[in-house]
Amino acid sequence: MLTVPTAAGRLASWLGLAGHLCALPFYLASGLVAPLWAIIALLVVWLGLLGVCVWAIRARSAWGLAVPVSAVGIWLGAVSAGEAFLGWTA
């Protein structure tokens, strides 16, 4: 998809990166609930989303704003599913 770089897109991509960095403490704090293999998997997903965020910054794309929303949704879904189906408890 071709996007036209604009000042709004540039600002949105940087705001997406800031929001994504704010999600990191939640991923790191998962150790209170999740086993080590799940924490490693979550951090790999977080790093993959960081790559998407960097791509959005380089492309000056507003899609960077979707990254922190996705990061929080993935983390919440993974921890909730682990609690419901795998018996993870704090």
> Is 32 inside a domain boundary?
yes
Number of structural domains the chain divides into: 1
> Is 89 inside a domain boundary?
no
Evaluated on CA atoms 19, 21, 27, 32, the torsion sign reads negative
Question: Is residue 23 within 8 Å of residue 78, measured between CB atoms?
Answer: no
> Is 1 inside a domain boundary?
no
% of the chain residues with pLDDT over 70: 94
Q: What is the mean pLDDT of the chain?
A: 92
% of the chain residues with pLDDT over 90: 80
* Parent domain of 44: 7-84
